């Protein structure tokens, strides 16, 4: 395990815009505020979602598209650099009216309403290609 001690920097609370992409709003906010490393949590509701499932054998992401409204029962993620841009790695648990859930790695979702808490760290995190998993993981820790 590689790790690095970090100091907490700024904290933010944000209300996401209705009708816009959940993850893109967080990335745009991070760019506007110059955030190079952060963790965030959120909750709210979305009108649709595209979840990526990473097949560990094939080492490929497979998208699953849901065109239905969900509660965002839980959202957690982090901000780091990927290919020269800020990337909000975002996972969600999305619930239906009957309480059943879908969950996973979020690609996109149209926000109905969203509340997010962001904790910035005074460091930078940069993703690098990892040979073992074929994923872009934090490098230089």
Closest approach of Cβ 4 to Zn ion, in Å?
20
Residues 11, 38 contacting (CB under 8 angstroms): no
Residues 115, 72 contacting (CB under 8 angstroms): no
Q: Which is nearer to Zn ion, 69 or 104 (CB)?
A: 104
- What Cα–Cα distance (Å) separates residue 17 from each residue in 38, 124, 136? 20, 27, 29
Closest approach of Cβ 105 to Zn ion, in Å?
3
Q: Which is nearer to Zn ion, 6 or 127 (CB)?
A: 127
Q: Which is nearer to Zn ion, 105 or 127 (CB)?
A: 105
Q: Which is nearer to Zn ion, 9 or 91 (CB)?
A: 91
DSSP track, 33-89? HT-SSEEEEEEEEES-EEEEEEETTTTEEEEEEE-S-EEEEEEEEEEEEETTEEEEE
Closest approach of Cβ 97 to Zn ion, in Å?
26
Closest approach of Cβ 78 to Zn ion, in Å?
10
Residues that bind Zn ion (CB under 5 A): 105
């Amino acid at each position: 395990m590689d790790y690095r001690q970090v100091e907490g920097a700024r904290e933010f609370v944000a209300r996401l815009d209705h009708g816009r992409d959940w993850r893109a709003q967080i990335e745009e906010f991070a760019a506007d505020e110059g955030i190079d490393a952060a963790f965030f949590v959120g909750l709210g509701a979305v009108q649709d979602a595209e979840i990526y499932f990473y097949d560990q054998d094939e080492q490929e992401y497979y998208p699953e598209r849901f065109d239905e409204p969900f509660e965002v029962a839980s959202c957690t993620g982090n901000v780091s650099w990927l290919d020269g841009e800020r990337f909000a790695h975002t996972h969600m648990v999305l619930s239906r009216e009957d309480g059943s859930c879908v969950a996973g790695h979020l690609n996109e979702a149209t926000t109905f309403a969203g509340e997010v808490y962001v904790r910035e760290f005074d460091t930078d995190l940069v993703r690098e290609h990892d040979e073992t998993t074929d994923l872009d993981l934090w490098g230089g820790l």
